Amino acid sequence: MDAVFLTNLILLVCAALVVAGTVSSLVAARFGAPILLVFLLVGIVAGEDGLGGIQFSDYWATYMVGSASLAVILFDGGLRMRASSMRGAVVPAFLLSTVGVLLTAVLVAFPAAWLFSLSPLQALLVGAIVASTDAAAVLFLVRAQGLKLGRRVGAVIEVESATNDPAAVVMTVILVELISSGAANPGWTMGVGVLRELAIGTAVGVAGGYLLSVFLNRVELPGSLQPVMVVSSAVLLFAATAMLHGSGFLAVYLAGLVLGNRPVRGLAGIISFHDTVSWLCQIVMFTMLGLLVTPHKLAEAVIPGLAIAAFLFLVGRPAAVFACLAPFGFSVREKAFISWAGLRGAVSIFLATIPMLAHLPAAQIYFNTAFIVVLASLLLHGATLVMAARRLNVALAEPMRDPQRFEIDLPGQTEHELVGYPVTAKTLAISSALLPDWARLVLVVRDKRILSAEEAGALVTGDYVYILAPPRRVHQLDRFFVEEEMVWADDTAFPFAGDVRMGDVADLYGLPVSDTERPMTIADAFADRADERPARGMRIALGHAVLEVRSVDGGRVTQAALHFEQLDGEVPPFGFRRLATRLRLRRPVVRGPV
């Protein structure tokens, strides 16, 4: 009976931790704090030195659960990533995830060797453990505050974070093996190991994603088993790649990327299921990592750990980012934000369990340092990241909330799916005639009645509409059902056609525009920043002025308005208004200052 009681007690505690973390995440979301920090703190509070008093030190179980969880999370990240949004970001992200990780680890090794009196290899191991970043935390923080990163900046951060884990894992494993064997230096071992892991991981991931898509399209599985099959396949690919001495993390990310960008039956249900499983994996993983931490053992490592964190945030990460992105035309502001957006998360603590499993002499130093760096990163970056995005002008304000969308897969269909939207008084699609040719309204739910498109006629507020659309274009319907925000009055803004060049507007009014955006039209600039989904109300800050979308047609901005900030009651000079009027009346495209 004692065993039964103990089993029930364990189930009770585990479920209570999950519930506590989930409920606490609502508070975190309200204040813009990283949700993963909440789960970590829940584990600490429940641990040996906390209120729960749970003694947990099973590093092997943590490593196993962490491996599976990270595999599922990375697969989900690839599944949601659109290949089109990666344009111009793959090469710089790859450099950051390989050369950048190595450079960061080497730089961090210098203060680590001095602060902890470690050998060069031991100090390099500290750098390798804290060298990788966490994309989920960055993107959550930015989106939670109503901001959307520019397409290229957001893609670089996400792709880098998803692909730099393999380099960090390989470096950590090789360094642990070298330290255990007493080798003097890594020589070519590390470089060859990284290249081998990346090559095998890439090959297995791409092939695995393609084969999985073929299997899902050809084999009739019950709908409820498709998502289970995909999750299992992700973990299978991870383990199989690792057995082949390849990077399992890279393999699962690429497999998800391939699967998510191919026509696959039931993809909407698979993505929805993965969203739930990914959240559960994060809750379990971070809670276990929190349980491993014993706060009283961190005391002697706090000061050197914070010193390592400060060096990493202010010197190591920025130096690596500026060096790797120098050839790709990123502005200083963009590189500064990418540097600051290098949040450390679960992977660093997860990697710190490897020296513990190998029983290295300084294993506790690695674990304590990793935990302090991650905690400092979550607290510091969590409090300042959104402010940095605004100050550095790398995020596009997105005043409207994403519309409520409900997707239904059609059995045996890969070309169409059914999408449901509510119609409100402020949505654009108050008339079904506004819908694009590739979208077909099939039924309307009105006053508890189900009507065909012909029976419903004009849409009214309170309707719930179901539309047949290609899966790859579903997101383009969102702009028809967002609630429009207030725009500036005409007397404080100057309208411009969407095909006006950004550089010409900047030269005309003396406004700052990055070299990357100068040759772009206004429409292209918004499309680039909004991931090909511009909507009315989106804005780009240009020094003391702001450019706002006024109208969108066919997914392209057709008209924007330039608004100058008013300081102490002043308005833009009359000459500016006259120039804008002449520009608006004489020609749609600016060829130079008038």
Q: Which of 113-127, 146-160, 456-470 has the highest average model confidence (pLDDT)?
A: 113-127
Residues 6+ apart with CB under 8 A from 334: 150, 152, 153, 325, 392, 394, 514
> Once rounded to an integer, what is the mean pLDDT over residues 253-277?
80
Of 33-42, 333-342, 463-472, which gets the smallest average pLDDT? 33-42
pLDDT at 425 over 90: no
Task: DSSP letter for 312, please.
Answer: I
Residues 6+ apart with CB under 8 A from 277: 72, 76, 227, 231
CATH 1.20.1530.20 fits 2-48+57-397, yes or no: yes
Q: State how far the Cα of 217 lies from the Cα of 394, in Å rounded to an integer.
A: 40
pLDDT for the residue numbered 580 = 45
Residue in 545, 496, 541, 543 with CA at minimum distance from that of residue 522: 496
Give me the amino acid identity at 126. V
Fold of 406-481: Alpha-Beta Plaits (3.30.70)
- 21-76: pLDDT as tens digits: 566 555 555 544 556 677 777 778 777 766 767 777 778 888 888 888 888 888 88
pLDDT at 525 over 80: yes
- 196-210: pLDDT as tens digits: 878 888 899 999 999
pLDDT for the residue numbered 579 = 43
Q: Look at 408 and 99; give whichever has higher pLDDT.
A: 99
pLDDT for the residue numbered 267 = 74
pLDDT at 184 over 50: yes
Q: State how far the Cα of 558 lies from the Cα of 552, in Å rounded to an integer.
A: 5
pLDDT at 587 over 50: no
pLDDT for the residue numbered 237 = 92
pLDDT for the residue numbered 66 = 80
At 572, the pLDDT band (50, 70, 90 cuts) reads very low
In total, the chain counts a number of residues equal to 594
Would you say the C-alpha torsion 442, 446, 450, 451 has a positive or negative sign?
negative
Domain ranges in the chain are 2-48+57-397, 406-481, 490-586
Q: Look at 390 and 20; give whichever has higher pLDDT.
A: 390
- 476-507: pLDDT as tens digits: 677 677 655 434 344 456 778 888 888 888 87
pLDDT at 319 over 90: yes
CATH class of the region 490-586: alpha beta
- What percent of the chain has a predicted confidence (pLDDT) above 90? 11
Q: What angle do CA 334, 517, 562 make, to 5 degrees?
A: 105
pLDDT for the residue numbered 126 = 92
Q: Which of 18-22, 123-127, 475-479 has the highest average model confidence (pLDDT)?
A: 123-127
Of 175-184, 220-229, 335-344, 431-440, which gets the smallest average pLDDT? 431-440
- Look-up of token digits 């028809």: 480
